[in-house]
Chains A and B, each alone.
Chain A
Amino acid sequence: MIRIAQLSCGSEYSGIQKEIERAAETVGAKIVYPEVSLEDILNVESTFGVSVSSGDLNLAIARAVRIVQNPDLADAVIVMTCFRCAEAAIIRSEIRKYIHEHSKIPVLSYSFTERTKAETLLTRIEALVTTVKYRGLLAREKQKGLTAGIDSGSTTTKSVVMRDNEVIGTGWVPTTEVLKSADEALEAALKTAGVQKEEVSAIGVTGYGRFLVGKHINARLIQEEITVNSKGAVFLADAQKGPATVIDIGGMDNKAISVQDGIPGGFTMGGICAGASGRFLELTARRLGIDITELGKLALKGDFRNVAMNSYCIVFGTQSLVNSLSLGCKPEDVAMAACHSVAEQVYEQQLQEVDVKEPVIMVGGTSLIEGLPKAMEELLQVKVTVPKYAQYIGAVGAALLVSGLLED
């Protein structure tokens, strides 16, 4: 049983404690609370560096200190506080950093509202548990034999076939019906690889449709996309040793993952705002009357500063873009402004919560829209790498990881 230490403030009073416990149970983990004394709580100014006015936050800090002093108390940590609480936001982030720097325990940080449900937490907690449970599997650096991976995403379904550490076939279809799209993507990948389905030793599945698809095709590995994508990213970018940061701006949610030796350390997953997704760029392309594949190259010629955007919102932000066009702004500036808007929102809302270390690897279909990695480079002031097969990242990660299961 994996023990997840909960360091939190406000979850019981937001009515979501049960949801946290339900998500943990689903992935075979148990929530625990490290024992601390009253003195431990009163001493956090000297042991941790600050004592705040909310006692429950000081209690969370004291528990964090205890875990660092005695890492055997927990296998993983979740730090959770109320969304929109400034005091808690500062402490949540500092606790996350403190545990990350002073222990090897994986830590997840999340701010909740009363609307947070177990389903929202599930992928995050599943990833946290995976990094504990399958450390050996995640340390695998080479794909062996003939395996396939499917990434059943919200917008597109991707598949690859790999043989002896090489991608030999790819398939890519828009997601319509989850199972049908998965079959089509796999078929396409098998066709380009020139192999029969029967020859494939094992299939790994990831993405939001993973449970359904995994059952349908009898997958050997069904895994959330945080661990799979980070594995795929460091494999393709040849950054399996040492630190790396993986950014995946998807159709429905975004992931920012801080990776060490191929294993996710901290990560954030956002997924509320369409303005911070690939959808925003699709809409911009449509407004500009061009194909999404042309948007990135067009953006590279533009300057976002020439367009006044007053919102990240997919409705109001897009309106700003349309207004600028009517005021005579150039399409390339508008294209870059859209890329900058998406990148900036991910930068502000997600990258602040992970330790951004080089190399920074951008993956997923949106990373092929050249303006987006460029906008991210400008914001982060570091080089951003987009590896080959970046759009197939989940499928590659799944094919790689599932080959590890064959040997065990």
Chain B
Amino acid sequence: MLVTKYVITSSESNILPSDIAMKIYGSKYEVLVKETCFGVVINGEEEVINALIKEIRALDPAGIFIKDRGFPPGDPRRCRGRRGGGARPGFYMIESESKMLPMISRALASKGDIPAIPEKKKPLPIKRLEEIVKNGLS
């Protein structure tokens, strides 16, 4: 079965979408490649794509992320040029998550102990609030 995947690079990765595209062009794999601003879209037989993904990830194990995509690359049904402009709704989710990728990359690459996270702030105990109010009004 033909499948399509996004290959998305963290903005802090040294690997550029064009590097990934070049790697695929120079490889033995018969896949369709389309470069975008945030990564590349690849389309091919499922086994081929899975094997290729392993090699792509090896370029920067913590900085490259893969996402499934329903539509083949450049599908006119989803292409903004043919569908009256405007990004497809799902694009904004990719954009939101892409902003988090540097953080996730650093977390994936990090070793050693996990830092303790300070507890989230809790509301002031009512007794303490009462005291503040009384003091403030007196």
Contact = CB atoms under 8 A, between A and B. Distances in A.
Interface stretch (A30-38, A199-207, A294-302, A323-331): A30-38
B92 A35 contact: no
Contacts of A32: 84-86
A285 interface: no
A120 B28 CA distance: 53
A30 B82 CA distance: 11
A281 B96 CA distance: 56
Contact of A36 (B80, B86, B96): B86
Nearest to B87: A35
Interface residues of A, number: 15
Given A38-B95, A38-B96, A56 B89 contact: yes
A65 to B, nearest CB: 14
Nearest to A58: B92
A125 B89 CA distance: 24
A63 B95 contact: no
Contact of B86 (A33, A38, A56): A33
Contacts of B84: 3, 6, 30-33
Contact of A55 (B80, B85, B86, B92): B92
Contacts of B83: 33
A398 B115 CA distance: 77
Nearest to A66: B86
Interface string B88-113: 01001001100000000000000000
A59 interface: yes
A41 interface: yes
A34 B85 CA distance: 7
Interface in A1-33: 3, 6, 30-33
A96 to B, nearest CB: 20
Interface string B49-93: 000000000000000000000000000000010011111010010
Nearest to A4: B84
Nearest to A5: B84
Contacts of B96: 38
Contacts of A30: 84
B54 to A, nearest CB: 31
A163 to B, nearest CB: 46
A36 B92 CA distance: 10
Contacts of A59: 89, 92
Interface string A51-69: 0000110010001000000
Nearest to A59: B89
Contacts of A6: 84
Contacts of B89: 55-56, 59
A220 B107 CA distance: 72
A238 B85 CA distance: 43
B124 to A, nearest CB: 26
Contact of A38 (B80, B85, B92): B92
Interface of B: 80, 83-87, 89, 92, 95-96
26 contacts: A3-B84, A6-B84, A31-B84, A32-B84, A32-B85, A32-B86, A33-B80, A33-B83, A33-B84, A33-B85, A33-B86, A34-B85, A35-B85, A35-B86, A35-B87, A36-B86, A36-B87, A38-B92, A38-B95, A38-B96, A41-B92, A55-B89, A55-B92, A56-B89, A59-B89, A63-B86
Closest 6 CB pairs of A and B: A33-B86, A32-B84, A38-B95, A38-B92, A31-B84, A33-B84
Interface of A: 3, 6, 30-36, 38, 41, 55-56, 59, 63
Given A34-B86, A38-B95, A59-B89, 11 more contacts: A6-B84, A30-B84, A32-B84, A33-B80, A33-B83, A33-B84, A36-B87, A38-B96, A41-B92, A55-B89, A59-B92
